[in-house]
Structure 1
Amino acid sequence: MRKRARRASMLAAATAVAATGVFVAAPSASAGTSEVVNAGFESGNASWHEKVTPFGGHPINNSSAWPARSGTGKAELGGQGLTGMSRISQQVTVPAYRVPVLSFWVRSDVVAGGTSGFGFRQLVVEATADDGTPYELHDRMNKGGTSGSYERVTVTLPDAFYRSSPQKVNISFTVIEDAANRMPFLIDDVTMEYRFRTIDRPVIIPGGIFRPVAG
């Protein structure tokens, strides 16, 4: 009798869930990290593509003038004092049925004396899907800076990068500046983590339906 009563209670709870449409999101479990190659730039520009126009040069360096967050290598984008563009990029493979999450550290100093009269400078972080469509993930201007220290940025890529098969994705960091600015954006320790997608599923609890408590 007790087993029948328990089954009846569970069936009633399941019916109530289906009728009311109450669902509880399953926890987002990590699927591990597929590291970006040469993530900290310690091997120079290995595995990274550099493009600097029109003045040329190599953004990825180990110059002590602008220290890295860790180790000695980092990407130094902009700061040439010339109108132009600096970019670094790398192609990664996003596994099937995984949500890609990009993380990186950025530093942007402001010259003593304030920003009045300073030139235009902008950082744009993009992910380009295998069909050639670019998606802007993050952008920031030169105002304010990060107070002389590195700041971590983490962003989940849009649904367009969640596929049933692996796809090649190009991650790029671009700085656009004018002739009045000589302060670079510094990028270091770039990683891409792949997570399982959060799936809504009904939670059936004998004797009633419980909602999760946010926190």
Structure 2
Amino acid sequence: MSPRFRRVRLAVSAALAAAAIGMLTAPAAQADAGSFANPGFEAGGGSWNQFSMPFGGVELINSSSTYPAHSGYWKAELGGRGFAGVNRVSQQVTVPAYRVPVLSFWLRIDPQTPATMGYRELIVEATTQDGTPYLLTSRTNKDSNGEYQKVTLTLPDAFYSSSEQRVNISFMAVEDAANKLPFLIDDMTMTYNLKIFRPWIPPVLTRPTIGL
């Protein structure tokens, strides 16, 4: 990772933390409890928060045929703008009580030449209701595959609670001015599992055998 790339990432971290807390207080449209609204972006940018720095007004959610969607016509296109900066889309989801949340989405990273350095990075985060962010996964241009692949992530224990909580899910691309191909994201889902508690079984005690 180049020094300039690291400086860009550090420069936006404070602004992103503040934005994440602000988004948690904003109302978010929900099709069903615990689900994403507009999960495949077919309603455009509806229900999604979009953030771009240093330049605003970038259509992060679009139907451009240059990079096709996984399904339908619309997808999120993060990065690939040709300048050092950050793009992010995020949405608030209500996680039900006593459930383990599992995030799935489809990701495409096109191959690049050369791909020996990570000039672009995708960061997937979940932020708890109190504003604490958790890194779920990250990818760089070195992880290119050239086609959509499904990514499934189980959120950590901080998102399991005896009461429902509002959780912010964000997809953020940080890039240098090199290697302009974007990260493409589509078809998000949130599913929920029951937490399995395994009972503690004491070890079986045996008496030592004393030789006669």
TM-score when normalising by structure 1: 0.74
Residue 199 (structure 1) aligns with = 197
Aligned to 1:106: 107
8 Å Cα contact 2:35/2:94 also seen in 1:
no
Q: CA deviation at 1:199?
A: 2.2
Q: Which amino acid aligns with 2:42?
A: E
Amino acid at match of 1:67: P
**What corresponds to 1:94 in structure 2?**
95
For residues 69 and 101 of structure 2, the distance between their equivalents in structure 1, rounded to whole angstroms, comes to 25
CA distance in 1, matches of 2:178, 2:114: 14
Q: Write out per-residue CA displacement over residues 153-201 of structure 1, whole angstroms, 9 at most, x where no aligned residue.
A: 1010000000000000000000000111211000000111011111224
**1:142 aligned onto 2:146:** no
Distance 1:33 1:196 in 2: 16
Q: Deviations over 1:25-79 (max 9, x none)?
A: xxxxxxx994311000000010000001112212100110000000001000000
1:1-215 to 2 correspondences below 5 Å: 34-56=34-56, 57-111=58-112, 113-115=113-115, 120-146=119-145, 148-201=146-199
Which residue in 2 is equivalent to 1:19?
none
Question: How much does 1:114 deviate?
Answer: 3.3
Conserved 8 A contact 1:52-1:58: no
Q: How has the CA–CA distance of structure 1 residues 194 and 119 changed in structure 2, closer, same or farther, with 3 Å as cutoff?
A: closer
Contact 2:103–2:154 under 8 Å retained in 1:
yes
Q: CA RMSD in A?
A: 1.9
**Structure-2 separation of matches of 1:103 and 1:128:** 16
- Stretches (4+) displaced over 4 A: none
Q: Which amino acid aligns with 2:155?
A: L
* Count of residue correspondences: 169
Identical columns (%): 56
> Structure 2, unaligned stretches of length 5 or more?
1-31, 202-212
Which residue of structure 2 lines up, in the alignment, with residue 212 of structure 1? none
CA distance in 2, matches of 1:135, 1:188: 21
Q: Which has the higher contact order (CA 8 A, sep 6+)?
A: 1
- Radius of gyration: which is bigger? 1
Q: Which runs of 5+ in 1 are unaligned?
A: 1-31, 204-215
